[in-house]
Structure 1
């Protein structure tokens, strides 16, 4: 199941590059996701939605959260195409996916030698 949500190759490469900083990287990413989700929920314009979804997509992709990046990319495109649409369902989907990947990242952090 994790492969659908997290790319193991990306995580492995990050673990290798970051070494002792890997668990800190995960903590930073998860906190950043929380912040971006708040911004998405409270966004008052399609431009704000699109910009936040774009940066969320980039960080998710860099961290190997493939499905989360995909959902953010879709929201980014939709907000550009139909600025007056209701994006509540798209934001809910992103929220749900984050609820799935968060514990997966927690497990990855525990697997990191620096976590001890």
Structure 2
């Protein structure tokens, strides 16, 4: 089973896009992004995982994708199929995308 693993200093990159969305459009936005991830993004070189989180108030959606390199992110964003889903999502909510690295991870003691 594949799963998302978050580690500091592992050399990976995260593309995090926080969308502001009207509550009545949140589910549709999640479906559009999930479809794009399933059809195209998860098959792109360097993609490690794609996670879509919806806020309980319905006003935000977080798209969290992990990548091996910044170049993989850039190449993916240049793909016309990916741009189609990016543009479709932007019609449903206001995106605010940024690339990140993990600074620290904290867990409770076992």
TM-score normalised to structure 1 length: 0.31
User: Which structure has the higher relative contact order (CA within 8 Å, separation 6+)?
Assistant: 2
Structure (1/2) with the larger helix percentage = 1
TM-score normalised to structure 2 length: 0.33
Structure (1/2) with the larger strand percentage = 2
